């Protein structure tokens, strides 16, 4: 089970990570090494015994439906790299797909 | 005015550590320290941790000092809210001393993956202090602060505690609120504590632990009350899992553990061998589950609403890819890619689902061992003493294997700690205690007995 | 060639809570941008979600109203994709363990009678923020007020067979959800959104054809038009031997045509996994019972009851039951003593602000007693706001009908005397002239005479001679 360059490129695209062409060979080799290591789990045939993960509470706590102030020490305007007229501002969508 | 005095003393020590090039801190200032001092001096009544300076790993958000997670993508980021643990520490009269250096986004076992340079081991600058909470461990080991907060996902406090010769305690998952801990592996992350004494670790843990209505994964458990008087190891059964003592275990580590076990026996403990048969699945399972959760947790860092934005002229997709491509370091990038891969269509069953199964088996092993009458498990914390910088960065898997003994308790969500049990060739060796879920108090009180009975600076005889 | 259309609808409704699904920010509509935000819905590092108990309750209520099975344990899952209106880079939704499955909604199809549409699933998820593409030139503006608002996603099976039925289904679904006070279901405000999946197949075939998805439909009418346009487009392709591509489409209301969405390449890989920040959502028997008890009488049950208890016809009962406040008002008016058919007529035909039930009941009684004419009542009705008495208004406006013989007699005699020709023709057999003569009396009385009384008196007097 080895990881191909095409797969690494596809994963990088899914994760919105730019990978320069000259980085791709080494990155592919590293990914292949890591995936090859964790792949020893594939010998585990038996997926039965499905159940919740062993950590944390058995059920989620819930919140009352009350509006509470955010109490932010800094506003969105102060956090944002670009903020105009009350809006966060980013470039045009361009090639980004609508989900 | 003792807050001001304590702050001044810490300030001197922080400055000294900077001069020595320890590189353990990412942010601190005289002004911030003075503000903390004034705040604790103004408290109507002294708290449980009054005037205690606490160093905080830089993946725990604070409104005063910046929070970078050791990453360029958050360089200069100032959180608009404080983590719950910060609020609780301050309410108890503690002072936040500084933010400490870490492997980027807590991903690493040596602190060599920080974007702001590695941390030096306080006893040997050519070696690593461990990671990811290396900065916190180093500051406590160097005596700059008495306690520090770190975080664990796969052993990131116990492992550096072992390398640096200090106490490192990970609570039961869900004991301490994660609200304000920048998420890496959400089902594994635990705010954890470094200290020079078991008592200090217990005090800090007691203050920060407890349910939080802002974190749905916290447990409604009773407070951690560590007994000190009248505790002994007599009548305690210590389990020794054979899988943690492989034939090729470092002889110095083995000798230190053997000596510690002998001491325990002398103090009245019964030592029994147990088996945790699925132990070898832990590191592979961890390196599927943690990256998978991390890939989603780090998707929010895109330069749109906060943090650093790459200066590109193109469309939004270019902005995201450039910001994330250049803002994340190589180890973070690898883990995001692995995490994306193991969750992707066609691979989920092969990797992620199987890792979940492995995790349940590992947790089952521990449960069976404790059910068989064992009070605590004892193992080496790390397979070796602190390795040299650069030794393991060439092969990611070699670095991952540094976590082999600490990672299983993380997967099972159990409380675990490392305490220094001796030296091997001058370097600290850590012994690990693992307790049943919610048994921190028992673990800490028995650890205190052991602490009193061992000399952590004694060179072991092989 | 006879083609069968197969349609399924995916509906998102905003649950009527005060705060968002995973944080305490206001879920209100129309506030200045980025003012209802906090670390959680901004996706700041270190923030964590905690679910809103009322959102869960409303979702359970919706599920029960749709006859679904509510699962004791359901799991929140992360749906990962990058888009600027999604602050965390993933949406918290539900995937393979949704809150509810297996419901049913009966739809009155014009062509097929009663159609049982299956509700495959109902689950909870958080909404995304809003993007504005024209607000700032050359840039995209992001408002995260809506990010984190609670939604219920309701997915029907492919059980609808015409665009009209799809519209009827959506209307019925909206009605039930408004009845149950789960959501205000306003397409204008965006609290009701629908995407349609549609395919065609030759009549008699059991396999489904390739389906396409139409998104972002913004009105009931456009839903119907878009589905019809797409059905026709698919049939046209298949009839000339082509193949339907599985694409996602947008409907252009202006041209009435559908077009593929820009750059829709491979389908998304959402990489679903259980959200580790949220332990399972557990719905105990107690909560289930309590929520079930909160359910009001639903539209179809109310319709049937109005028909049987009040003797109304199907159409009238349907109109009255279309909105709970109207049905409740109808019953209040009946309880105040009005005759049901009279009450139904008034309520169905009048709009605007309804008067106090007792006032309308009294007005209806006055008309029935002949104290005011029907026309006069329509003038009195608008004046009843604020609890005014109909009789007092009638007196004020001079609309009280004269019914006593003493008053009517002189007018009738005058008219008989004034129209000897018509009187003669009436007595000779032309019975239509009764209406004419009645009208003349009405004129002389300036409309205040009770027409039935006039007609009766005329008939008596003219018969006599």
Cα separation, A11 vs B340, whole angstroms: 6
Q: Give the nearest partner residue to A51 out of B317, B318, B360, using CB atoms.
A: B360
Predicted pLDDT of residue B414 = 98
B216 CB-near residues (< 8 Å, 6+ apart): A57, A60, A61, C48, C49, C50, C51, C277, C278, C279
Residue A89 to residue C19, Cβ atoms within 8 A: no
Tokens standing for residue C9: 């609808």
Task: Return the CATH number at A11.
Answer: 1.10.20
Query: Considering its fold, how many domains does chain A have in total?
Result: 1
Residues of B in contact with C39 (CB under 8 A): 80-81
Residue B334 to residue A27, Cβ atoms within 8 A: yes
Residue C461, H or E segment: helix C451-464
All CATH 1.10.10.410 domain ranges in chain C, comma separated? 405-464
Options B132, B136, B177, B410, the catalytic residue: B132
**Which region holds residue B425: left if phi is over 0, alpha if psi is between -120 and 50, else beta?**
left
Q: Give the nearest partner residue to B216 out of C142, C271, C278, using CB atoms.
A: C278
Which among B80, B218, B286, B366 is the top mutation candidate for probing chain A, defined by the most A β-carbons within 10 Å of its own β-carbon? B80
**Residue A15 lies inside a defined structural domain of this protein:** yes
Residues of B in contact with A25 (CB under 8 A): none
Predicted pLDDT of residue B313 = 84
pLDDT > 90 fraction of chain B, expressed in percent and rounded: 94
Could you say which residues of chain A have pLDDT below 70? 1, 46-52
The answer to whether residue C51 neighbours chain B at the CB level (below 8 Å) is: yes
DSSP H helical ranges for C253-323: 285-294, 299-310, 314-321
Do residues B74 and B67 touch, judged by C-beta distance below 8 A? yes
Cα separation, C300 vs C318, whole angstroms: 8
> Is residue B21 very low, low, confident or very high in pLDDT (cuts 50, 70, 90)?
very high
Residue A91 to residue C282, Cβ atoms within 8 A: no
Residues of C in contact with B217 (CB under 8 A): 48, 276-279
Reported as a single tens digit per residue, the pLDDT across B273-305 is 999 999 999 999 999 999 999 999 999 999 999
Residue B293 to residue C276, Cβ atoms within 8 A: yes
Residues of B in contact with C269 (CB under 8 A): 344-345
**Residue A96 lies inside a defined structural domain of this protein:** no
Q: Which domain holds residue A30?
A: 5-43
* Adjacency order of strands within the sheet including B147-152: B25-27, B95-100, B53-57, B147-152, B190-195, B167-170, B416-424, B427-434, B376-380, B237-241, B270-274
Residue C144 to residue A61, Cβ atoms within 8 A: no
Q: C-alpha angle B286/B290/B295, rounded to 5°?
A: 150
Give the dihedral sign, CA C56/C57/C60/C62. negative
The answer to whether residue C80 neighbours chain B at the CB level (below 8 Å) is: yes
The secondary structure of chain B, three-state, reads CHHHHHHHHHHHHHHHHHHCCCCCEEECCHHHHHHHHHHHHCCCCCCCCCCCEEEEECCECCCCCCCCCCCHHHCCCCCCCCCHHHHHHHHCCCEEEEEECCCHHHCCCCCCCCCCCCCCECCECCECCCCCCHHHHHHHHCCCCCEEEEEECCCCCHHHHHHHCCEEEECCCCCECCCCECCCCCCCCEEEEEECCHHHHHHHHHHHECCCCCCCCCCCCCCCCCCCCCCCCCCCEEEEEHHHCCCCCCHHHHHHHHHHHHHHHHCCCEEEEECCCCHHHHHHHHHHHHHHHHHHHHHHCCCCCCCCCCCCCCCHHHHHHHHHHHHCCHHHHHHHHHHHHHHCCCCCHHHHHHHHHHHHHHHHHHHHHHHCCCCEEEEECCCCCCCECCCCCCCHHHHHHHHCCCHHHHHHCCCEEEEEEEEECCEEEEEEEECCCCCHHHHHHHHHHHHHHCCCCCECCC
- Nearest CA to CA, how far is A53 from chain C (Å)? 9
Residue C78 to residue B306, Cβ atoms within 8 A: no
Instruction: List, as ranges, residues 123-182 from B with C-beta within 8 Å of A.
Output: 173-174
Residue C114, H or E segment: strand C113-126
Residues of C in contact with B79 (CB under 8 A): 44-46
The answer to whether residue C463 neighbours chain A at the CB level (below 8 Å) is: no
Give the dihedral sign, CA C213/C219/C223/C226. negative
Give the ipTM: 0.96
B213 is catalytic: no
Bridge partner list, C131? C142
Residue C261 to residue A98, Cβ atoms within 8 A: yes
* Adjacency order of strands within the sheet including C212-217: C69-70, C100-109, C113-126, C150-156, C3-14, C192-202, C212-217, C248-252, C257-260
Predicted pLDDT of residue C465 = 53
DSSP A23: G
First vs last C-alpha separation in chain C: 75
Q: What is the pLDDT along chain C (465 residues), one digit of tens a residue?
A: 799 999 999 999 999 999 999 999 999 999 999 999 999 999 999 999 999 999 999 999 999 999 999 999 999 999 999 999 999 999 999 999 999 999 999 999 988 999 999 999 999 999 999 999 999 999 999 999 999 999 999 999 999 999 999 999 999 999 999 999 999 999 999 999 999 999 999 999 999 999 999 998 989 999 999 999 999 999 999 999 999 998 999 999 899 999 888 654 556 899 999 999 999 999 999 999 999 999 999 999 999 999 999 999 999 999 999 999 999 999 999 999 999 999 999 999 987 788 999 999 999 988 888 788 788 888 888 888 877 888 888 888 877 777 666 678 888 888 989 999 988 898 888 888 888 988 998 888 887 787 888 888 888 888 765
B302 CB-near residues (< 8 Å, 6+ apart): A16, B319, B320, B323, B324, C82, C89
CB pairs under 8 A between A and B: 181
Do residues C257 and C34 touch, judged by C-beta distance below 8 A? no
**A77 φ, ψ (degrees, to nearest 5):** -60, -40
CATH number of C405-464: 1.10.10.410
Q: Give the nearest partner residue to A34 out of B287, B305, B320, using CB atoms.
A: B287
**Residue A50 lies inside a defined structural domain of this protein:** no
Tokens standing for residue B217: 């994964």
The answer to whether residue C141 neighbours chain B at the CB level (below 8 Å) is: no
B132 is catalytic: yes
Cα separation, B344 vs B70, whole angstroms: 28
Predicted pLDDT of residue A51 = 62
Rounded average pLDDT over B42-58: 97
Predicted pLDDT of residue B168 = 98
* Mean pLDDT, chain B, integer: 96
Reported as a single tens digit per residue, the pLDDT across B25-34 is 999 999 999 9
Pairing mode, if any, of strands B237-241 and B270-274? parallel
- Nearest CA to CA, how far is A77 from chain B (Å)? 9
Residue C126, H or E segment: strand C113-126
**B14 φ, ψ (degrees, to nearest 5):** -65, -40
Predicted pLDDT of residue B214 = 97
Residue B302 to residue C47, Cβ atoms within 8 A: no
B156 is catalytic: yes
Residue C281 to residue A60, Cβ atoms within 8 A: yes
């Amino acid at each position: 089970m080895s990881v191909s360059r095409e797969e690494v490129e596809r994963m990088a695209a899914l994760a919105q990570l730019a990978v320069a062409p000259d980085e791709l060979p080494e990155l592919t080799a590293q990914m292949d090494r890591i995936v090859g290591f964790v792949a020893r789990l594939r010998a585990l045939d038996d997926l039965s015994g499905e159940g919740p993960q062993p950590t944390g509470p058995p059920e989620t706590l819930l919140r009352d439906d009350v509006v509470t102030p955010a109490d932010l020490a800094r506003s969105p305007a102060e956090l944002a790299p670009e903020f105009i007229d009350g809006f966060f501002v980013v470039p045009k969508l361009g090639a980004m797909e609508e989900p | 005015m003792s807050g001001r005095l304590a702050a001044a003393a810490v300030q001197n020590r922080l400055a000294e550590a900077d001069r020595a090039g320890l590189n353990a801190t990412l942010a601190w200032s005289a002004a911030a320290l003075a503000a903390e001092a004034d705040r604790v001096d103004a408290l109507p009544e002294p708290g449980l941790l009054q005037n205690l300076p606490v160093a905080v790993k830089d993946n725990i958000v604070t409104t005063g000092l910046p929070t970078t997670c050791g990453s360029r993508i958050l360089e200069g980021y100032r959180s608009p809210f404080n983590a719950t643990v910060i609020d609780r520490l301050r309410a108890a009269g503690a002072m936040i001393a500084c933010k400490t250096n870490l492997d980027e986004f807590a991903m690493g076992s040596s602190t060599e993956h920080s974007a702001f340079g590695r941390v030096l081991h306080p006893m040997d600058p050519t070696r690593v202090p461990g990671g990811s909470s290396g900065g916190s461990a180093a500051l406590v080991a160097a005596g700059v602060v008495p306690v520090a907060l770190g975080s664990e996902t796969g052993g990131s406090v116990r492992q550096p505690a072992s390398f640096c010769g200090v106490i490192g305690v990970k609570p039961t998952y869900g004991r301490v609120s994660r609200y304000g801990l920048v998420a890496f592996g959400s089902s594994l992350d635990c705010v954890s504590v470094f200290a020079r004494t078991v008592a200090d670790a217990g005090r800090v843990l007691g203050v920060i632990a407890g349910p939080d209505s802002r974190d749905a994964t916290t447990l409604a458990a009773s407070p951690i009350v560590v007994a000190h008087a009248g505790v002994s190891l007599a009548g305690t059964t210590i389990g020794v899992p054979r899988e943690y003592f492989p034939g090729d275990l470092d002889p110095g580590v083995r000798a230190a553990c053997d000596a510690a076990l002998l001491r325990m026996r002398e103090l009245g403990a019964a030592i029994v061998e147990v088996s945790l048969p699925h132990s070898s699945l832990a590191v592979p399972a961890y390196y599927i589950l943690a990256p998978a959760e991390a890939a989603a947790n780090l998707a929010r860092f895109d330069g749109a609403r906060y943090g650093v934005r790459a200066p590109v002229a193109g469309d939004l997709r270019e902005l995201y890819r450039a910001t994330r491509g250049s803002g994340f370091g190589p180890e973070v990038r690898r883990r995001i890619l692995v995490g994306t891969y193991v969750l992707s269509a066609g691979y989920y069953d092969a990797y992620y689902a199987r890792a979940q199964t492995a995790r349940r088996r590992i947790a089952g092993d521990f449960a069976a061992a404790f059910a068989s009458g064992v009070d605590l498990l004892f193992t080496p914390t790390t397979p070796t003493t602190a390795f040299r910088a650069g030794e393991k960065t060439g092969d990611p898997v070699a670095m991952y294997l540094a976590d082999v003994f600490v990672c299983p308790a993380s997967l099972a969500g159990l409380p675990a700690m490392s305490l220094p049990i001796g030296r091997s060739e001058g370097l600290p060796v850590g012994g690990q205690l693992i307790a049943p879920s919610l048994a921190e108090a028992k673990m800490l009180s028995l650890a205190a007995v052991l602490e009193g009975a061992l000399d952590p600076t004694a060179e072991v005889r092989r | 060639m006879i083609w069968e259309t197969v349609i399924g609808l995916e509906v998102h409704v905003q649950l009527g809570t005060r705060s968002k699904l995973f944080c305490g920010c206001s879920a209100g509509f129309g506030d200045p941008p980025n003012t209802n935000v906090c670390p959680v819905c901004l996706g700041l590092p270190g923030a964590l979600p905690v679910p809103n108990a009322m959102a869960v309750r409303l979702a359970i209520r919706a599920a029960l109203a749709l006859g679904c099975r509510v699962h004791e344990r359901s799991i929140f899952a992360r749906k990962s994709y990058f888009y600027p209106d999604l602050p965390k880079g993933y949406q918290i939704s539900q995937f393979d363990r949704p809150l509810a499955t297996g419901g049913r909604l009966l739809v009155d199809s014009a062509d097929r009678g009663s159609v049982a549409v299956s509700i495959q699933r109902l689950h909870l998820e958080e909404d995304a923020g809003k993007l504005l593409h024209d607000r700032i030139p050359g840039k995209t503006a992001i408002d995260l007020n809506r990010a984190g608002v609670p939604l219920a996603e309701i997915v029907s099976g492919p059980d609808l067979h015409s665009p009209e039925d799809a519209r009827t289904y959506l209307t019925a679904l909206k009605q039930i959800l408004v009845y149950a006070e789960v959501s205000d279901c306003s397409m204008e405000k965006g609290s009701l959104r629908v995407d349609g999946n549609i395919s065609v197949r030759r009549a008699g075939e059991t396999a489904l054809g390739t389906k396409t998805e139409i998104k972002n439909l913004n009105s009931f009418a456009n839903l119907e038009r878009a589905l019809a346009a797409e059905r026709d487009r698919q049939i046209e392709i298949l009839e000339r031997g082509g193949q339907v591509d599985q694409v996602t489409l947008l409907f252009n209301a202006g041209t009435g045509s559908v077009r593929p969405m820009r750059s829709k390449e491979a389908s998304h890989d959402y990489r679903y996994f259980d959200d580790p920040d949220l332990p399972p959502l557990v719905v105990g028997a107690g909560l289930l019972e309590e929520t079930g008890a909160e359910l009001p009488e639903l539209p179809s049950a109310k319709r049937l009851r109005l028909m049987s208890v009040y003797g109304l016809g199907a159409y009238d009962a349907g109109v009255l039951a279309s909105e709970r406040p109207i049905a409740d008002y109808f019953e209040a008016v009946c309880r105040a003593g009005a005759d049901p058919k009279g009450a139904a007529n008034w309520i169905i035909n009048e709009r605007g602000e309804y008067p106090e039930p007792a006032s309308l009941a009294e007005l209806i009684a006055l008309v029935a007693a002949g104290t005011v004419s029907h026309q006069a009542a329509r003038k009195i009705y608008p004046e009843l706001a604020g609890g005014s008495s109909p009789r007092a208004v009638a007196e004020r406006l001079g609309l009280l009908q004269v019914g006593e013989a003493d008053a009517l007699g002189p007018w009738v005699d005058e008219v008989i005397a004034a129209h000897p020709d018509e009187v003669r023709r009436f007595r000779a057999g032309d019975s239509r002239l009764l209406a004419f003569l009645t009208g003349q009396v009405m004129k002389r009385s300036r409309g205040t005479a009770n027409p039935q009384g006039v007609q009766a008196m005329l008939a008596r007097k003219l018969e006599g001679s």
